[in-house]
Amino acid sequence: MRSTLLVGALVLASTFVSAQTASNDSQPWQSLVNEVRQLRQDLVATTVATQRVQIVLYRLQGQQTAVQRAMERFDLAHQRLSDTESAFKTRTAELQQNEDFQTQSQSESDRKQLQEQVLPHLKADLERLRHLQQQQQVSESQSQEQLRVEQAKLSDLETFLDKLDKSLAEFDRASH
């Protein structure tokens, strides 16, 4: 009976010792598993952050292109309007000169030709230029507004990119 009791005590003691050894051996493994899990989470977070940065950079590039196109449209509309305004001033001066010449002319045939052919043509040309000028003013105004809209979008993206950069910098500092 004593031997059975002794064997039982030895089995119980060996179980206790092996349980302690198993728990001591599993702690480093559990620590490694936890660290691998944390590394995986960090890798996923880094991958997501990288993808977001790429998306924002792609959008930023597209928006810069949109701003450039809007600026080109505005510049073209502004140049067309300037050209039309210059032509309008030139035609107005021509009309004034011809009207002055008509009133000062001694020749009846010159006055008649001016009155019937030249002046109506200049007045019609001025009316056409005035109408074109109005259309181009609208076009310039619309293209200027579109440029402002596109620039505002670009500014918003740049602000977002700055915030993203700051948050990534803070994340980097926190991880070290």
What's the pLDDT score for residue 89? 97
User: Which CATH number fits the domain that encloses residue 109?
Assistant: 1.10.287
Is 24 a member of any domain?
Answer: no
Number of domains in the chain: 1
Residue 128 has pLDDT above 60, yes or no: yes
What's the pLDDT score for residue 16? 47
Is 14 a member of any domain?
Answer: no
DSSP string, 5-52: HHHHHHHHHHHHHHHHHHHHHHHHHHHHHHHHHHHHHHHHHHHHHHHH
Is 26 a member of any domain?
Answer: no
Q: Which domain covers residue 155, as residue numbers?
A: 35-164
Rounded to the nearest integer, the mean pLDDT of the chain is: 85
Residue 56 and residue 161 in contact, taking contact as beta carbons nearer than 8 Å: yes
Is 57 a member of any domain?
Answer: yes
Strands in 10-152 per DSSP E: none
pLDDT in tens, 142-174: 999 999 999 999 999 999 989 988 888 887 788
